[in-house]
Amino acid sequence: MNSFFEYFSDIFRAVKSLLTGMTVTGRYFFSPGQIVTQQYPENRKTLKMFDRFKGEVIMPHNERNEHRCTGCGICETACPNGTIEILQAKIDMPDGKKKRIIDKHIYRLGMCTFCGLCIKACPSDALAWGQEFEHAVFDRSKLTKTLNQPGSSIIKDIVE
């Protein structure tokens, strides 16, 4: 007889604790002010990422299409997984000497782990984090990017 009562009191307590939990869900159900979801593709215009957001590595250019990269290759050695490759070119200086400058700063987004070591290592602050986060493309080759824009040159006051 005792176990008989225990059996039914267990069911009763289970229903009671279930209802206690459902008061919480009910409260949220009737207070639409607490909705936290974002309507993502619709709010794309107003969506603002945080300033330090790590979207991708970019090389900022000024309005005269100039960047700060000297092509020293420190970011290439700092990178743990071969994301960055620097192709250098030689140019003839007016005084007859040959100088190495950057030809292409190749950045493979598909291999990047966003650790930030290249940006920390750069002695001339040529690299920065970009805010772009929609990286989906139809072809894998599009993930290999050249960071210095075509026809760009180095800002004059950068010394190696």
Partner 1 sequence: MKEIINLPVKNVEEEEYHINMGPQHPSTHGVLRLVVSLQGEIVKNLKPHCGYIHRGIEKMCEKDTYPQIIHLTDRMDYLSAHINNHAVCLLVENALEVEVPERVKYIRTIIDELNRIASHQLWWCSFGMDLGGLTCYFYGLRDREKILDIFEESFGSRLLHSYYTPGGLMMDIHPNFQQRVKDFIKYFRKKIKDYDKILSGNIIMHERTRGVGVLSKEDAISYGVTGPSGRASGFSCDVRKHHPYGVYEKADFKEILGTAGDTLTRYNMRMLEMRESMKIIEQLIDNIPAGDYIAKMKAVLKLPAGEYYQRVEAARGELGVYVVSDGNKSPYRMKFRSPNFSNLSALDHMSRGCKIADLVAIGGSLDYVIPDIDR
- Which residue in 53, 62, 91, 146 binds partner 1 (CB under 8 A)? 53
Q: Is 20 in the site for partner 1 (CB under 8 A)?
A: yes
Long-range contacts of 118-121 (CB under 8 A, 24+ apart): 118/57, 118/75, 118/78, 118/79, 118/83, 118/84, 119/57, 119/75, 120/78, 121/74, 121/75, 121/77, 121/78
**Contact indicator for 129, 56 with CB cutoff of 8 Å:** yes
In whole angstroms, what separates CA 88 from the centre of its chain?
Answer: 27
- Which residue in 7, 17, 87, 137 binds partner 1 (CB under 8 A)? 17
Nearer to partner 1, 73 or 116 (CB): 116
- Which residue in 50, 94, 96, 140 binds partner 1 (CB under 8 A)? 50
Which 75-104 positions form the footprint of partner 1 (CB under 8 A)? 78, 80
d(CA 29, CA 24): 9
> Taking the complex as a whole, how short is the minimal distance between the CB of residue 124 and partner 1, in angstroms?
16
What residue ranges bind partner 1 (CB under 8 A)?
A: 10, 13-14, 16-18, 20-21, 23-25, 36, 50-54, 78, 80, 113-117, 120, 129
